[in-house]
């Protein structure tokens, strides 16, 4: 654990995940645990800036996840999941283009970062920055409520489907957990989104998820940060 990769000498198929506890890099750990593929984690438990520095040494973007496979270093968690599945999963955890579930799968695989995470985080930042009692401008008002909007679409998708990718658990679910947990942690009520709550509980019970959390958060859950208003999305 926590080895730095010497990219000049590592053979393809030897994976390193640059990680920060409870962040998007957990997706990559989870996928590799589901697939039973070995990996090395590079991070400094409890040291956010130390972990970012390790990521910066691996990729100029200096964010996590960075994924290295031999000499290859790539960023973007969705692209990393696609890369791993395309090269190493033999079809596991993806949905073939010929399946009736393919449109759902491909939409949610990309929605997770493209719309869900980005709108939830923007909503949170706008609410955090808006002084109390201030009337938001038109453009700010248009973007407030993004968390509820994307969560409502996700909730509706799960009314007739156990998983985001349709009938079976897939990489689309691995991608969607991060933004949905974020929305709940910032105040969206599970009672208002019962299908998401049911799905979150089910997928987080998976043994591979449990192993990913144990590996990625060896000191247990991060302490809560009192400076973050965790109820910003409450009605
Ligand atoms: N869309 C990217 C987002 C990556 C991202 O923003 N990662 C965060 C942690 S979850 C990060 O590294 N933040 C540190 C920074 O940007 O300085 C992905 O899905 O990989």
More reliable by pLDDT, 231 or 28? 28
Q: What is the mean pLDDT of residues 23-35?
A: 98
pLDDT on residue 32 = 97
Query: In this prediction, what percent of the chain has a pLDDT beyond 90?
Result: 86
**Which residue's CA is the closest to the ligand 1 atom numbered 15?**
63
Going from the Cα of 18 to the center of ligand 1, the distance in angstroms, rounded, reads 11
pTM of the model: 0.93
Per residue in 93-102, pLDDT (tens digit) is 999 999 999 9
- Which of 24, 113, 222 has most ligand 1 atoms within 8 Å of CB, for mutation? 24
Going from the Cα of 134 to the center of ligand 1, the distance in angstroms, rounded, reads 30
pLDDT on residue 224 = 79
- Report the distance separating Cα 179 and Cα 185, nearest Å: 10
Per residue in 155-199, pLDDT (tens digit) is 999 999 999 999 999 999 999 999 999 999 999 999 999 999 999
Domains and CATH numbers, the chain: 1-93+219-235 (3.40.30.10), 102-204 (1.20.1050.10)
Is the model's pLDDT at 24 over the cut of 50?
yes
Enumerate residues lining ligand 1, CB below 6 A: 20, 23-24, 52, 63-65, 75-78, 113
More reliable by pLDDT, 212 or 229? 212
Is the model's pLDDT at 230 over the cut of 70?
no
pLDDT on residue 233 = 86
Is the model's pLDDT at 202 over the cut of 90?
yes
Going from the Cα of 119 to the center of ligand 1, the distance in angstroms, rounded, reads 14
pLDDT on residue 235 = 66
pLDDT on residue 231 = 73
Is the model's pLDDT at 128 over the cut of 70?
yes
Is the model's pLDDT at 65 over the cut of 80?
yes
User: What is the average pLDDT score of the chain?
Assistant: 92
Going from the Cα of 76 to the center of ligand 1, the distance in angstroms, rounded, reads 8
- Which of 64, 75, 124, 171 has most ligand 1 atoms within 8 Å of CB, for mutation? 64
Is the model's pLDDT at 127 over the cut of 80?
yes
pLDDT on residue 5 = 42
pLDDT on residue 120 = 97
Task: Name the band, by pLDDT with cuts 50, 70 and 90, for residue 2.
Answer: very low
Q: What is the mean pLDDT of residues 7-24?
A: 80
């Amino acid at each position: 654990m926590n080895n730095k990769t010497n990219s000049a000498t590592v053979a393809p198929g030897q994976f390193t995940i640059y990680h920060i506890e409870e962040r998007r890099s957990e997706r990559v750990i989870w996928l590799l645990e589901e697939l039973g593929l070995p990996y090395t984690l590079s991070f400094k438990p409890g040291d956010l800036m130390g972990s970012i520095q390790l990521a910066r040494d691996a990729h100029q973007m200096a964010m996590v996840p960075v994924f290295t496979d031999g000499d290859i270093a790539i960023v973007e968690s969705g692209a990393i999941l696609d890369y791993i599945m395309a090269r190493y999963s033999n079809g596991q955890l993806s949905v073939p283009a010929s399946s009736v579930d393919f449109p759902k799968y491909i939409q949610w695989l990309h929605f997770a970062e493209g719309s869900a995470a980005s709108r939830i985080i923007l909503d949170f930042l706008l609410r955090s920055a808006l002084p109390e009692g201030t009337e938001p401008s038109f453009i700010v008002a248009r973007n407030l409520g993004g968390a509820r909007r994307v969560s409502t679409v996700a909730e509706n998708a799960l009314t007739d489907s156990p998983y985001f990718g349709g009938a079976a658990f897939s990489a689309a679910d691995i991608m969607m957990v991060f933004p949905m947990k974020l929305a709940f942690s910032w105040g969206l009520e599970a009672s208002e989104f019962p299908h998401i709550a049911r799905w979150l509980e089910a997928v987080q019970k998976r043994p591979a998820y449990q192993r990913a959390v144990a590996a990625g958060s060896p000191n247990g859950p991060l302490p809560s940060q009192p400076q973050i208003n965790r109820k910003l999305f409450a009605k």
